[in-house]
Chain A
Amino acid sequence: MAGAPAPHGFSNAAAVLHGIDDLRFEDFPMPLKPGEGMVRIQMKAVGICASDVHYVRKGRIADFIVDGPMVVGHESAGTVIEVGPGVKRLKVGDRVAIEPGVPCWSNKASREGRYNLCPDIEFFATPPHHGSLREYIDHPADFCYVLPPNVSFEQGAMVEPLSVGVHACRRGEVKPGKNVAILGAGPIGLFTLMAAKAFGADSVAITDLKNDNLALAEQMGADICLNPKASATPAEVGEWLKASLPPYGPDVVIDCAGFESTLQTGIRACVAGGKVVMVGLGSEEARFPLSIAACKELDILGSFRYCNTYPLCLKLMESAKVDVNPMVTHRFGFTAKEVDAAFDTAARAPITGAIKVMFNLEGPDDDDDEAA
């Protein structure tokens, strides 16, 4: 299993996807030393995301196709065990959250502060880039963020999905004075709910077709939980949402499900002049109520991953403005058997009740301190 890092031939167990449903627990070789500006991290906590499961099951998401072995996983935190040349910000022993997407700075999007849109971004576990479900990784120090002492590795790993929620709230300009409706109480909807409350939204309503998901949402601070019958039309659900968020309805609707029905619901529910943020990617295309969107002068905003969110997320966790701990429903160690079990648990979430499945990786000097 895992050995202490040594200059030559130490083992680095990794979960490597070779093809559809072909996830292997095998060694992933590392270079001798971390390169310029890089740090070597011993992984402590890695969460599974629905996209990881999707790559395992389908071998692709849209135009990203798994074409050769790829380490999966991108929600991660660990300990710095070695620093490369030129690294000043971090030192050995630092506990860090790892931002999985590393952009380049020569393009317009990056230079305009939207580095999530860098056309050449290297993002963990998006083909052809390797992910972080492994014992060791080298990563640019600039994309590793020190965990506050009261923030655990698991919380650090969850900075990634929380970032998606934070970015959506920024896109929607969630703030005091705004009522927010979140469509979908799956993991992303729940992280977005936490972010919306932290951003000071007046009231947050959340919808889902499963009462179990709504129960957790209520626990996490949703002011209104709504289970629209599967037969309800977008117009009907829109009216319910408007009525549930007086006086005018939601100023911001964040669609974390991403289906035609939720997009239509969002556009109908949203106040005139408001914002509908598209986070979920349930379907590639949707029938879009153009005249409603135009006459209400809505802003319909795509939201893709995130940028400049890690420091804020860590502050929110440190000050307990968000509590992501209840999101972890299943924990696994890092062995071949447990990798299979974990992915199976995540893939069958409707039956297993999985929300966030977390790997805890044991290192040789593991004295992980959990958060209060």
Chain B
Amino acid sequence: MYGPNDLRFDPHPVQLPPEPEPNKVRIRMRTVGICGSDVHFWKHGRIGKFVVKDNMVLGHESAGDVVAVGSNVTSLGVGDRVALEPGVPCFANMLPRQGRYNLCPDMQFFATPPIHGSLTTFVDHPSDFCFKLPDNVTYEGGAMAEPLSNGINACQRGQVAPGKKVAILGAGPVGLITAVAAKGFGASRIAITDVREDNLPLAKQLGVDHALLTDRSMSAMDIALMLQKALPPNGPEVVIDCAGFDSTLQTAVEAVATGGKVVLVGMGQDKCTLNTGTTLVKELDLHGCFRYTNTYPLCLDWLERQQVDIEPFITHRFGFDEKSILEGFDCAANPDRTKCIKAMFHLPGQ
């Protein structure tokens, strides 16, 4: 992108050195998915304090072929098919050393300015952050590891486990992938809510126990009671808010069982009204949730063993040329019209 609403197909946006650096590999990109954040940067030129100042390649959900390896790399070879974990931290910082590298203050993350993204032909990336795809996992599966990782982190923050009932607010791509992760983590029961009906059948297909259509006329309390009724006896122990609005935050703290956890994934609003009295008296834990750490091996393991099904997520596929780029982004930006959940770009091989 070159500015808000200015998306161009640029054949050579980034100059790569003749060879990858010693600890990096060069990847020919094969499949790249689009996320809401890519769309948001395209439309608005910023998310929060991240402002696109120069042109920036978009995309961060990606998989491709290793075409060259740096001199120190032994874990990967030319021809290996890999999924790329988009965020590279710096291990001189305190938080990465404690394992929370997602919070590294010097994080370099694909398509978060000023770092170029991966919707391009070639990318150089540290080999430590490239994960070999099992033979039976497609490039699409590899690309889906990124959104799936977000769902996994949400479940880890909420300590989803057998015996826990989970409610997910919002059945958009994030809510749906979180439901998939929750199933993987052994949740006893899963309920999901949305004001739109479109994705609820898929939610049921993915194994959600209760796919609940809510009405804009329903109050947050109404929805909370609906969830408590659907998940007796005390309601959900974990509520994952994938929307992030006043109403969903209120629903979350009212629906969750006493002593339970609310995971804050969605950021629909910058600031929300929080019922602090309820939070205190029910002794709730509200867990902010930001990206993920150490999730790629788990994602690829699940995909290899077919424990998760990401196929139904990919609703639209596009090639990689000027027309396709614009069509693909338009498709992803207008899900109400297009019913898009995940749009993927396929780039040609050798």
Instruction: Tell whether A and B belong to one assembly.
Output: yes
Residues A289 and B48 in contact, CB atoms below 8 Å apart: no
Residues B244 and A294 in contact, CB atoms below 8 Å apart: yes
Counting from the closest, the 4 A-B pairs by CB-CB distance are: A288-B274, A284-B277, A300-B286, A302-B280
Interface residues of A in 281-309 (CB under 8 A from B): 281, 283-291, 293-304
Residues B289 and A296 in contact, CB atoms below 8 Å apart: no
Contact of B276 among A114, A116, A285, A294 (CB under 8 A): A285
In the complex, chain A residues whose CB is within 8 Å of the CB of B259:
109, 112, 114, 117
In the complex, chain A residues whose CB is within 8 Å of the CB of B103:
272-273, 296-297
Point out residues on A near B: beta carbons under 8 Å: 62, 108-109, 112, 114, 116-117, 119, 248, 258, 263, 272-273, 278-279, 281, 283-291, 293-304
Contact of A117 among B267, B271, B272, B282 (CB under 8 A): B282
Binary interface encoding of chain B residues 282-294 relative to chain A, with 1 for a CB under 8 A from any of its CBs, else 0: 1111111110000
- With A108-B234, A291-B267, A302-B282 given, is the CB distance from A258 to B290 under 8 Å? no
Residues B274 and A297 in contact, CB atoms below 8 Å apart: no
Interface size range of chain B in the complex: 35 or more
In the complex, chain A residues whose CB is within 8 Å of the CB of B284:
301-302
Tell me if B100 counts as interface (CB < 8 A to partner A).
yes
Residues B283 and A288 in contact, CB atoms below 8 Å apart: no
CB of B94 to closest CB in A, whole Å:
7
Cα-based distance from A283 to B279 in the complex (angstroms):
12
CB of A116 to closest CB in B, whole Å:
7
Chain B residue at minimal CB-CB distance from A281: B280
Residues B273 and A278 in contact, CB atoms below 8 Å apart: no
Chain A residue at minimal CB-CB distance from B102: A297
Residues B273 and A286 in contact, CB atoms below 8 Å apart: yes
Chain A residue at minimal CB-CB distance from B275: A285
Residues B279 and A300 in contact, CB atoms below 8 Å apart: yes
CB of B266 to closest CB in A, whole Å:
8
Cα-based distance from A273 to B101 in the complex (angstroms):
10
In the complex, chain A residues whose CB is within 8 Å of the CB of B95:
272-273
Residues B265 and A294 in contact, CB atoms below 8 Å apart: yes
**Residue from the set B100, B249, B264 with the largest chain A CB neighbour count within 10 Å:** B264
- With A112-B259, A273-B100 given, is the CB distance from A283 to B276 under 8 Å? yes
Contact of B271 among A109, A273, A279, A287 (CB under 8 A): A287
In the complex, chain A residues whose CB is within 8 Å of the CB of B290:
294-297
Residues A288 and B271 in contact, CB atoms below 8 Å apart: yes
Contact of A281 among B48, B157, B249, B277 (CB under 8 A): B277
CB of A238 to closest CB in B, whole Å:
15
Cα-based distance from A300 to B286 in the complex (angstroms):
5
In the complex, chain B residues whose CB is within 8 Å of the CB of A108:
234
CB of B263 to closest CB in A, whole Å:
9
CB of B165 to closest CB in A, whole Å:
12
CB of A185 to closest CB in B, whole Å:
20
**Residue from the set B105, B273, B279, B280 with the largest chain A CB neighbour count within 10 Å:** B280
- With A273-B103, A290-B269 given, is the CB distance from A299 to B287 under 8 Å? yes
Contact of B281 among A286, A296, A302 (CB under 8 A): A302
In the complex, chain A residues whose CB is within 8 Å of the CB of B282:
117, 302, 304
Chain B residue at minimal CB-CB distance from A167: B283
CB of B148 to closest CB in A, whole Å:
18
CB of B251 to closest CB in A, whole Å:
14
Residues A298 and B288 in contact, CB atoms below 8 Å apart: yes
11 A-B pairs with C-beta separation under 8 A: A273-B103, A285-B275, A285-B277, A287-B273, A288-B273, A290-B249, A296-B103, A296-B288, A299-B286, A300-B286, A301-B286
Cα-based distance from A283 to B275 in the complex (angstroms):
9
Given contacts A287-B273, A299-B287, could you give 5 more A-B pairs where the C-beta distance is less than 8 Å?
A287-B272, A288-B273, A294-B288, A297-B289, A300-B286
In the complex, chain A residues whose CB is within 8 Å of the CB of B286:
293, 299-301
**Residue from the set B95, B269, B286, B287 with the largest chain A CB neighbour count within 10 Å:** B286
Tell me if B311 counts as interface (CB < 8 A to partner A).
no
Interface residues of B in 234-265 (CB under 8 A from A): 234, 244, 249, 258-259, 264-265
Residues A62 and B277 in contact, CB atoms below 8 Å apart: yes
CB of A20 to closest CB in B, whole Å:
21
Residues A297 and B281 in contact, CB atoms below 8 Å apart: no
In the complex, chain A residues whose CB is within 8 Å of the CB of B105:
272
Chain B residue at minimal CB-CB distance from A116: B283
Residues B264 and A294 in contact, CB atoms below 8 Å apart: yes
Interface residues of B in 276-317 (CB under 8 A from A): 276-277, 279-290
Residues B273 and A285 in contact, CB atoms below 8 Å apart: yes
Cα-based distance from A119 to B257 in the complex (angstroms):
11
Residues B48 and A303 in contact, CB atoms below 8 Å apart: no
Cα-based distance from A226 to B244 in the complex (angstroms):
33
CB of A285 to closest CB in B, whole Å:
6
In the complex, chain B residues whose CB is within 8 Å of the CB of A119:
258
In the complex, chain A residues whose CB is within 8 Å of the CB of B274:
263, 285-288
Residues B273 and A295 in contact, CB atoms below 8 Å apart: no
In the complex, chain B residues whose CB is within 8 Å of the CB of A304:
280-283
Chain A residue at minimal CB-CB distance from B48: A291
Tell me if B270 counts as interface (CB < 8 A to partner A).
yes
CB of B80 to closest CB in A, whole Å:
32
